[in-house]
Structure 1
Amino acid sequence: MTTNRTVQTAADAALWLAVHRGWHVLPLNYGTKRPLGGCVGCRADNKPDHTPQTCPCLARGDGALCHAVWAATTDPEVIRRWAQRWHTSVWAVHLGVSGLLAVDLDTRPDPPPHQPLNGLPWPADEPPPADGLDTYATLAALSGGTVGTDTFTTDTPSGGLHLLYEAEALRWKGSHGKPRPGDDTVRTGLGWQIDIKAYGGYVVLPGSTSKAGLYRRSSTTTTPRPLDPWLADALTRTGHDRTAAPDARPAAPVPVLDAQTGPARYAASALRSACAELAEMEPDTGRNRKLFRSTTRLAGMALAGWIDRTTVETALAEAARHAGLPAAEIRYVLASGFGRPLAVPDIRSAA
């Protein structure tokens, strides 16, 4: 059970930020940290065109808690009425409409994946990250920037951080940084244990107390700084910009090899060709068979010493993932292909 003082502190913080910063705030459930309420009419209405933008309850502006975060408000009278009605010690800010973006850095005790960054190789001389704070610091360094704590920052009960930045309203998508089941590479979001919250997202405000504990403001400032250029670039590169024109398909991965001898050059060319063809294949066009045939051919070259087996496995797996094959299927096909290596061709006659 939270104390009245804790309840009052959380509501006061939300009210101050709404009045002085223009942030759209709302109360959350103490146990679940989810938005409260939702009017009966909206819950029963189930019409596809019944959106927050067309909801009559929200249009009234009198504090109806409909459509989750879209009920958030800057109206001090509504906020005071919510505080008196709900007596919750957990309040949040709706980021997208408030012109904010939050970088949520987690500290879960999970083992890191082999490649913790989306679209960037982890530096060979860096130890694996311990948590999202490590991942984010490395991403900043690789991007030519710094993390910086001179922005509105909240310490979470789990030991993580919420970094709030000023951003163009409703421009950025949210994401979760974690590998897919069976994969060892992060391919969504920015990186491992880095969550981005923006468009329809929210974060708990400092002064709040949930079942997990107290959220404390750790920054000396209550003003979020503008989004760092390096972070905006990283968000754009990883598909977070809602205003960017969608690409038909990301560029296919191309293995980079340093081949000196004739056989090595032949094998490198064969690998590049196989990866380029496989990466562009669509579903139901024989991707599995292509991967198997390419693996058996290159397995023979690896057995002959023309190319390194790990290089072949890594490049073919990346091309297969680009084509949309599941990680477990890729592993099985690669193992099968290396179990049946083909004899190397006579490249003297080919020359």
Structure 2
Amino acid sequence: MTTNRTVQTAADAALWLAVHRGWHVLPLNYGTKTPLRGCADCRAENTDHTPQTCPCLARGDGALCHGVWAATTDASVISRWAQRWHTSVWAVHLGASGLLAVDLDTRPGPPPRHPLNGLPWPADEPPPVDGLDTYATLAALSGGTVGDTFTTDTPSGGLHLVHEAEPGRWKGSHGKVRDGDDTVRTGLGWQIDIKAYGGYVVLPGSTSKAGLYRRSSTTTTPLWRPDWLADALARTGHDRTATPAKATSAPAPVATGGRSGPRRYAVGALRSACTELAVMEPNSGRNRKLFRSTTRLAGMVAAGWIDRTEVETALAAAAGHAGLPAGEIRYALTSGFNRPLPVPDIRSAA
């Protein structure tokens, strides 16, 4: 059980943020940190009954229907919820409030070999300890900083960084690796979760079974999301408004090989990479394939086996045919040429 003072503190924080910041807030279940269910007629299983068509939500009288979509800025509704539910856990609905949250975890366990989605980890950096390390390195690689925005310390030692952002633009994600994999292929990076459109985060002042959520920032005003973060989100497929059209034309042909063995080998490697990349589907590792192909061919460019423009043109055409956005293609090519691999020993094949 939580104390009355803890319950009151959580509700007070939610009410203050609703009134002074215009945040849409709602109470959560103390044990599960999930939205409370106050209306038996509104169930997620009924797909014909959406938040947009729900008459209970349309009344605006505090019916707790459809999870986070019941969140409100109405002070009288919030006060009535606080009196009725007596919960010590409150949250903000990010999408309705024009917010985006970066949730940095500190779960124990070794990091994957490739902690960043679509980017190589710096060779001179030690592996990340947790999501805080991963995010700080991502910011540095992107030419930005984390900044002092509205921040909550979570009971597990993690952080919620809350930013103002374009309403409805960003998707949520989880930065994790699949069992048996060594590469983060979703989200931004290892132990970095993005919460936005339909997501929520627990507010400071709340107390769950895990412990107390505390505001650790010097400000109660969230910063506008930094440009470097928007670029990273767009690069990794978080932009709900992006509609990259898959190219209908075939990728540009690769030039034929020359007389020398190294030239023939390099052209063959480029043709093979482009053939595989051009037919890859979304969420199949297209970014990683483009980056790895570029690092391999960059070494051949450095050795004089093939021309850089020829490589970039062919790989960009193949990646565009696979549906990768132009920004992601440029980023992967630049990163790959900054990490050239040694050329193979082809004497036996010459």
Could you say which residue in structure 1 is the equivalent of 2:35?
Answer: 35
Which residue among 163, 167, 179 is the counterpart of 2:177? 179
Is contact 1:102–1:203 with CA below 8 Å preserved after alignment? yes
The aligned amino acid for 1:73 is T
Q: 2:238 aligned to 237, 240, 249, which one?
A: 240
Is 1:211 matched up with 2:213?
Answer: no
> CA offsets, 1:138-190, max 9 Å, x none?
10011000112x21000000000000001111211101011223221111111
- Mapped contact 1:38–1:68 kept (Cα < 8 A): no
Q: Which of 128, 149, 152 lines up with 2:150 in the alignment?
A: 152
Unaligned runs of 5+ in 1: 250-260, 284-306, 308-318, 324-342
The CA distance in 2 between the partners of 1:172 and 1:195, in whole Å, is 12
Matched, 1:137 2:136: yes
How far residue 280 of structure 1 moved from its aligned partner, in angstroms, is: 2.9
Return 185-194 or 200-209, whichever deviates more. 185-194
Measured in 2, the distance between the counterparts of 1:230 and 1:144 equals 7
Partner of residue 75, structure 1:
74
Q: 1:209 to 1:282 in 2, by over 3 A?
A: closer
Match of 1:99 in 2: 98
How does 1:104-119 map onto structure 2 within 5 Å?
104-119=103-118
Whole-angstrom CA distance in 2 between matches of 1:50 and 1:265: 62
Instruction: Determine helix, strand or coil for the equivalent of 2:161.
Output: strand
Q: Deviations over 1:230-269 (max 9, x none)?
A: 11111111111111113438xxxxxxxxxxx954444333
Supply the AA of the counterpart residue of 2:138.
L
Q: Structure 2: give runs of 5+ residues left out of the alignment.
A: 248-258, 282-304, 306-317, 323-345
Alpha-carbon distance between aligned partners in 1 of 2:192 and 2:266, rounded to the nearest angstrom: 36
State the AA in 1 paired with 2:19.
V
Larger Cα-atom Rg: 1
Instruction: Indicate the SS of the match to 2:194.
Output: strand
**Aligned residue identity for 1:107:** T
Which amino acid in 1 is paired with 2:130?
Answer: D
State the secondary structure of the residue aligned to 1:272: helix
Structure 1 residue aligned with 2:63: 64
Alignment of 1:302-341 (within 5 A): none
Q: TM-score scaled to structure 1, two decimals?
A: 0.75
Counterpart-to-counterpart distance in 1, 2:245 and 2:113: 27
* SS of residue matched to 1:42: coil
Match of 1:152, as an amino acid?
Answer: F
Question: Would you say how many aligned residue pairs link Structure 1 and Structure 2?
Answer: 279
CA distance in 1: counterparts of 2:212 and 2:113, whole angstroms: 33
Query: In the superposition, relative to structure 1, how do residues 346 and 106 fare at CA in structure 2: closer, same or farther (>3 Å)?
Result: closer
Amino acid at match of 1:246: P
**Which residue pairs with 1:270 in the alignment?**
268
What SS does the aligned partner of 1:170 have?
A: coil
Measure the CA separation in 2 of the matches of 1:56 and 1:138: 47
TM-score, with normalisation over the residues of structure 2? Answer: 0.75
Counterpart-to-counterpart distance in 1, 2:80 and 2:10: 14
Match of 1:90 in 2: 89
Aligned to 2:16: 16
- Aligned pairs for 1:294-305 (under 5 A) are none
Aligned to 1:197: 195
Deviation at 1:346, TM superposition (A): 6.2
In 2, distance between residues paired with 1:46 and 1:189? Answer: 27
1:282-323 per-residue CA deviation (whole Å, 9 max, x = no partner) reads 69xxxxxxxxxxxxxxxxxxxxxxx9xxxxxxxxxxx9xxx9
